[in-house]
């Protein structure tokens, strides 16, 4: 499933956590009386639609921010700031969030670099006859709740990857895009797994207001794994990106590919893709209209000599 522009890289049961960072200078005491510039991080949700699923429901217990250098820390590590913790799990059908956002919570944070969020889910109850709290329903059979297998989300937290900056003195925003098309994987026995690689973080230049649409496409390479790529959206009248994020590759049908959606205000934009070992890729300018998706098709990367 990008976003504040909503970016969905790839965000995914298209679930999008959207995060606004309203930054104000604050002081926190350190040794020698040093002060640290801080801001406020607001986390929300947004999603991409699916042709297969009628509902994708998750029960969120907690959302944590992971500072740089703590990517392998335990979920309960006191150094991971808690954005929101629910006494009763917060249940969301992410498929209702395509062109709207649901704010989950906010927290003051030191200015700096962050590379990961943790999305911790309530476990599905065990025992015959008990309904799942994390589940999907199919368009072909919308009354049957099929449990989502999410062991990492329940035991160690879903590790949602993506680089973003908290900058002091300005309003920042990030969006977590939950893309059901890449985040949900059929296991072949009628069950489904939830993969955190189908959930992406994008950082826009400003919070999304009403009246936004999306740019969507697939980054592709046939001869070499591009692993990850930085995707940025630039308005026609400026060279400054309005949104940026990271897309991760999956090997499918003898090629490496990664889907994305970039949610941006209505306007005209060009999208740029950069990945180590590949030539930069730029699309022609395309117009985005409110509450509608503008397809970009396949963006094929070329290996550098």
- Phi and psi (nearest 5°) for 196? -65, -20
| Domain assignment of residue 116, yes or no | yes
**Number of domains present in the structure of the chain:** 1
| Domain assignment of residue 305, yes or no | no
What does each C-alpha distance from 292 to 49, 104, 261 come to in angstroms? Answer: 12, 24, 12
The answer to whether residues 1 and 47 touch, using CB atoms and an 8 Å cutoff, is yes
What does each C-alpha distance from 62 to 65, 134, 156 come to in angstroms? Answer: 10, 14, 12
Global confidence as pTM = 0.77
Distance between CA atoms of 18 and 255, rounded to whole angstroms?
Answer: 30
| Domain assignment of residue 181, yes or no | yes
| Domain assignment of residue 1, yes or no | no
Of residues 181, 158, 22, 47, the one with CA closest to residue 102: 47
Burial (0-12, 13-18, 19+ Cβ within 10 Å), 261: buried
Distance between CA atoms of 98 and 90, rounded to whole angstroms?
Answer: 18
The answer to whether residues 164 and 120 touch, using CB atoms and an 8 Å cutoff, is no
Distance between CA atoms of 53 and 281, rounded to whole angstroms?
Answer: 32
Instruction: Quote the domain boundaries for residue 199.
Output: 7-26+36-300
Of residues 129, 98, 132, the one with CA closest to residue 12: 98
| Domain assignment of residue 2, yes or no | no
Distance between CA atoms of 294 and 224, rounded to whole angstroms?
Answer: 28
Q: Where do the H-state alpha helices sit in the chain?
A: 151-155, 180-183
Query: What is the model's pLDDT at position 17?
Result: 42
Query: Within 13 Å of residue 262, how many CA atoms lie on the same side as its CB?
Result: 36
The answer to whether residues 175 and 202 touch, using CB atoms and an 8 Å cutoff, is yes
Query: What is the model's pLDDT at position 34?
Result: 58
Distance between CA atoms of 57 and 150, rounded to whole angstroms?
Answer: 12
Q: What is the mean pLDDT of each run of 10 residues along the chain (305 residues)?
A: 43 41 39 67 76 91 90 90 91 87 77 88 83 93 90 71 81 79 85 86 76 90 94 93 89 91 91 96 96 94 95
Distance between CA atoms of 175 and 264, rounded to whole angstroms?
Answer: 11
Widest CA span in the chain = 64
Q: Is the dihedral of CA 300, 98, 172, 228 positive or negative?
A: negative
Length of the chain: 305
Distance between CA atoms of 11 and 242, rounded to whole angstroms?
Answer: 18
Q: Which residues contact 248 (CB under 8 A, 6 or more apart)?
A: 9, 10, 161, 197, 200, 227, 228, 258
| Domain assignment of residue 93, yes or no | yes
| Domain assignment of residue 68, yes or no | yes
Burial (0-12, 13-18, 19+ Cβ within 10 Å), 103: middle
| Domain assignment of residue 31, yes or no | no
In 36-110, where do the E strands start and end? 38-47, 53-67, 82-93, 102-110
Distance between CA atoms of 259 and 194, rounded to whole angstroms?
Answer: 16
The three-point CA angle 173-177-178 to 5° equals 150
């Amino acid at each position: 499933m990008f976003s504040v522009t909503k970016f969905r890289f790839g965000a995914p049961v298209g679930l999008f956590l959207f995060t606004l960072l309203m930054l104000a200078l604050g002081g926190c005491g350190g040794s020698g009386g040093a002060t640290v510039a801080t801001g406020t991080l607001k986390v929300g949700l947004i999603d991409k639609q699916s042709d297969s699923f009628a509902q994708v429901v998750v029960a969120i217990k907690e959302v944590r921010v992971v500072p740089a250098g703590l990517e392998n820390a335990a979920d309960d590590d006191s150094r991971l700031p808690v954005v929101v913790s629910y006494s009763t799990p917060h249940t969301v059908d992410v498929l209702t969030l395509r062109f709207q956002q649901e704010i989950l919570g906010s927290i003051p944070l030191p200015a700096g670099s962050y590379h990961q969020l943790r999305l911790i889910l309530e476990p599905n109850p065990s025992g015959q006859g008990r309904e799942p709290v994390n589940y999907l329903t199919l368009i072909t059979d919308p009354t049957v709740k099929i449990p989502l297998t999410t062991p990492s989300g329940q035991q160690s937290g879903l590790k949602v990857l993506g680089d973003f900056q908290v900058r002091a003195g300005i309003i920042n925003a990030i969006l977590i895009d939950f893309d059901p098309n890449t985040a949900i994987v059929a296991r072949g026995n009628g069950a489904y797994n939830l993969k955190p690689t189908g959930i992406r973080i994008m950082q826009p230049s400003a919070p999304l207001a009403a009246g936004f649409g999306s740019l969507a496409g697939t980054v592709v390479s046939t001869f070499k794994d591009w692993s990850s790529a930085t995707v940025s959206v630039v308005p026609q009248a400026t060279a400054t990106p309005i949104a940026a994020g990271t897309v991760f590759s999956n090997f499918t049908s003898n090629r490496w590919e990664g889907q994305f959606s970039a949610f941006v205000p209505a306007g005209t934009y060009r999208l740029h893709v950069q990945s180590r070992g590949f030539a930069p890729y730029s699309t022609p300018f395309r117009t985005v209209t409110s509450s509608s998706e503008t397809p970009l098709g396949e963006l094929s990367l070329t290996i550098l000599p």
